[in-house]
């Protein structure tokens, strides 16, 4: 995979150097990029939490976990999903082990008076969950809210 991407980038560089359209180089680089999917969890229903984790697993099964970027972004009432004592803590471990990113909103943590000690020890953090989702969307990531 790395070798193919390198060859594609070298080809793009050669085409640009020969005066070919920059659009060709952009097209080759875009083809080498992995698609991205951001999954939103912002409610307090464990059934929806389970569904979101199932969606991540299904996306990775369909595309191949090394061929798609997936990020779970949790904010608002969904915070319980990522607490250290969540009933789905083992599924969060599995999701992280699969290569998906799992991010908690720090604004939500501040509002709910949560600290990192309250949260699953392996997750990541973003300043604002909704801004993370908007940013990913602007970059072409699909947004899913199960």
Above 60 in pLDDT, residue 108?
Answer: yes
Structural domain harbouring 10: 1-33
Measuring CA to CA, which residue among 56, 34, 6 is closest to residue 139?
A: 34
Across the range 74-85, mean pLDDT stands at 97
Above 90 in pLDDT, residue 22?
Answer: no
Residue 145 phi, psi (nearest 5): -125, 90
Same domain, 61 and 94: yes
pTM over 0.95: no
Above 80 in pLDDT, residue 27?
Answer: no
Where would I find the H helices in 18-144? Answer: 22-32, 46-63, 89-97, 106-111, 129-138
Report DSSP state, residue 121: T
Q: How many CB atoms lie within 10 A of CB 12?
A: 20
Above 90 in pLDDT, residue 51?
Answer: yes
Give me the pLDDT at residue 24, please: 42
Same domain, 5 and 65: no
Report how many domains make up the chain.
2
Same domain, 58 and 88: yes
Report DSSP state, residue 67: S
Give me the pLDDT at residue 80, please: 97
Q: How many CB atoms lie within 10 A of CB 79?
A: 23
- For the chain, give the mean pLDDT: 85
3-state secondary structure of 85: coil
């Amino acid at each position: 995979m790395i070798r193919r991407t390198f060859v594609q980038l070298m080809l793009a560089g050669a085409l640009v150097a020969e005066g070919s359209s920059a659009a060709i180089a952009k097209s080759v680089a875009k083809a080498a990029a992995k698609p991205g999917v951001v999954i939103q969890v912002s409610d307090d229903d464990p059934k929806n939490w389970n569904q979101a984790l199932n969606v991540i697993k299904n996306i990775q099964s369909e595309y191949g976990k090394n061929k798609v970027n997936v990020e779970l972004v949790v904010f608002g009432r969904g915070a319980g999903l990522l607490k250290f004592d969540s009933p789905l803590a083992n599924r969060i471990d599995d999701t992280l082990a699969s290569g998906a990113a799992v991010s908690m909103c720090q604004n939500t943590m501040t509002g709910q008076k949560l600290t990192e000690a309250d949260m699953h020890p392996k997750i990541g953090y973003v300043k604002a969950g909704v801004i993370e989702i908007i940013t990913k969307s602007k970059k072409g990531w699909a947004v899913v809210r199960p």
